[in-house]
Structure 1
Amino acid sequence: MSDTVDTTAGAPEGTTPARRPGYGQLLRTPGAWTFLLPGFAARQPFAMLTIGIVLLVEHTSGSYGSAGIVAAVTGVSMALFAPQNGKLADRFGQRAVLVPGVLLHAVSVTALIVLALAGAPLWALFVAAVPTGASIPQVGPMVRARWAAVLGGSEERARLLPTAAAFESVTDEFTFVIGPVLATALCTGVHPAAGLVAEGALTLAGGLLFAAQRRTQPKVAQRRGTAASGPAGSGRVRVSALSVPGVRVLAVVFLGIGSVFGGMQVSLTAFADEIGNPGVNGLLYGVFAAGNMLAGIACGAIAWKAGPRRRLISGYVGLTLAASGLWAVHSVPLLGGLGLLVGLFIAPALISGYTLIEALVPAGARTEAFTWLTGAVALGQAGAVSVAGQLADAHGASAGFVVPLVGTALALATLLVLRSRLTPKASGLVAARGMGHRVPVAVD
């Protein structure tokens, strides 16, 4: 089965697909706003946490190095535990995971704040950082799973899935535009701990309100006697999303995207310091994020003729080429323009990857699959922050920009070699061969 069908648009490649529904129609979906608004509040803290930790720990310890390590511990912890949270949500329901999760997160963040303000040793901050990261509510993947559940009831609604994927990408990027700004303003204008206090409060309030929306929660797959549904794993007992080869490939691809986020954050900061204008850092990262937002909006409005796998490969090739020039740029206008270009290629890659999950993974494991991708981004970002920071300290900002290049190049190589694993398996029909014997027959 070749990548000739866009599973999200339902039109073969090379033909003119029907006009894709727009954002207005998507947002008129019954029940959508009941989970979108609290979901936005609950996912906003994810963008505030890292910068809030850095600003607080740097204030109390006087060391950006220590602050970065504590933030990295939080990111790695989130990356390791996010898929397990997603698996539990698929198994027991989102509410059952969210309520204890947000309560634990509020307690952990409070402990981290108290320890930092008390001048506790670094190891104590690590101890608090682990549950803080592990308990970050995976609201973004849960919202995506709710879209899939709400829109999966009919063919007409299913045409909105690509638009929903684009809308979620724009929402994610919007949080990364305003979240760090809000946290920084609170930490510098109110109190060094104010950013983390707001993060914990928003997580608690938004998470509990989101969990209360039971009507749009995806149905929980039965644990026994039920075959997994969907294009991947039909007729099989539900298994982990990571057992799907395509999910493992996409996780590697999203590691590369995380390396772009982490490498850009550190290297742009180092570049701004090198030129003696620290304030330009926010402008440059804002341009980069704006490119991502604009591309996400466009992706949701275009009725693509190419399938999601082909779009993923094309977008990733463009992302790698754009990232390859970052290390050689030494002026603000050129770096801003190239950063905009990098951002423009990230959204198509992210959206195509999330769209492929709909075709590769059974409905009962999609939240877990989404969290594997989210965790991969967080893990790639944590690693990139550490490596880029060391390179920038030793060799300057230009060396830090090598991290996005290497990360995307390695991920692209993996994608090209293993791209066949991103093709959904053909649906099977059951042909009877005697009483009680059924043999699956592949349909071309």
Structure 2
Amino acid sequence: GDTSGYQGRMRINLDARTQTAYGTLRAFVRLDAGARTGYSGVGTSGTQVRIGQAYAGTGVDAAGRDIQQMNVDKAFIQFAGLTAGRASSFFDFYAHDFEFAGATAGSDVASTNLFAYTATLGNGFSATLSVEDPVYRRTAIFAPTGPATPQAPVIVTYNRLGAPVAVSNIDTVQRSRLPDFVGALRLDQAWGSAQLSAASHELNVGNIATSPVAGANVAVGHTKSVQGWAVQGGLKVNAPFVAPGDALYLQGAYGDGTQLYTGYSAFSGSYQQSAATIQGQKFVQFFSDATINPLTGQLQTSNSFTAVASYLHYWSPEWRSAIFGSYGEQNFAKTARFGQGVAYGVVGLTGANSVGLPGTRFYQLSQALRDNYQFVAGASLIWSPVKDLDIGVEGYYTQIGLKSGRAIDLDKDPTAYSAARITSINAGGPVRTATQDSVSSFRLRVQRDF
């Protein structure tokens, strides 16, 4: 009985252009404001709160269900090929152009701080090099003590006999040292557009908080930063031969340590390492860009890929529909889960983020760091009775699942991650499990542009 939500939004655009001897000098500002309520996890946006763009309500009935949003969505200057300020990432292409909710997987960072230069090469070709803010592309580094805990016990040091002699903490909060570097090659023609994008993104965490004890066989140094990367290809084909205004988008992306560049968690956001895609789902998907090897103290990146297709069709000048779908996967380093299990077996952590001891039944069924997939399919119908007024409805189906094995069903067995239940599960006690979960969502929207 807790399945609906409501939202009101406002947007103001300010666009100033002056002709100069060097071309057009442009300044553009877009301000967003909104208020939304609804059931827990959907009435608010943890991602918007994380980056300081929204303010969550408090109180018994409002906490997690009420939010006010203010956002400087755009604030940039363009001059002689330069773009400076807050703008959409130059990596992005499709960016959910034909969708209401933006449910498909795919990169869509509408607001980031950047400095870019675009060279016009002629015949519709252009090339862009952009230096962009890395904060808006971050996904939490895996910390088994929870997403709100910046320090987690992740390093185990062993003596010459193979016995653990020290457990050290490492600060998993990411630092800002290098910007993201984005490059894009783009072609715009009457038939449509095509783009190839590439990006680099540094994963850079803090120091080990406590040093291993003296006499330990292995000394663990500073966790070295890792350079993640992503590539993307996109194609837009205009289809006036079907109906005026028709268009098809195709896009695919692959990333290593750069999950928000592939947009695998575009719908649920990445304010924590295991944000819920489906409210009250059977198990959570883990979106961490990397884990920390508990034996070496070094980062191990995860990889992800997404593919999306979207088609817009005009039945008449007043009626149009979009159909869209996407598929994506998140895969962790081969030894990441085993290493975490060894380390946290020594420490004895329990909870929904615990991997468990390798070889046990709980380890086989725990949800943490499991390779997973996500599938989305949807459609919309929009009526425009007068110019610049849209009244439409959109529905979409989302399925999440494990690529292999089964996981504890949090919906039907919510106490399974307690210490007592973990002991019972390892002893062969009963437990409810699942391999996938799904949900259908619908949204009605009325929009007026002026």
TM-score for both structures, normalised by structure 1: 0.27
With CA pairs under 8 Å and 6+ residues apart, which has the higher RCO, 1 or 2?
1
More strand by percentage = 2
Larger radius of gyration: 2
More helix by percentage = 1
TM-score for both structures, normalised by structure 2: 0.27
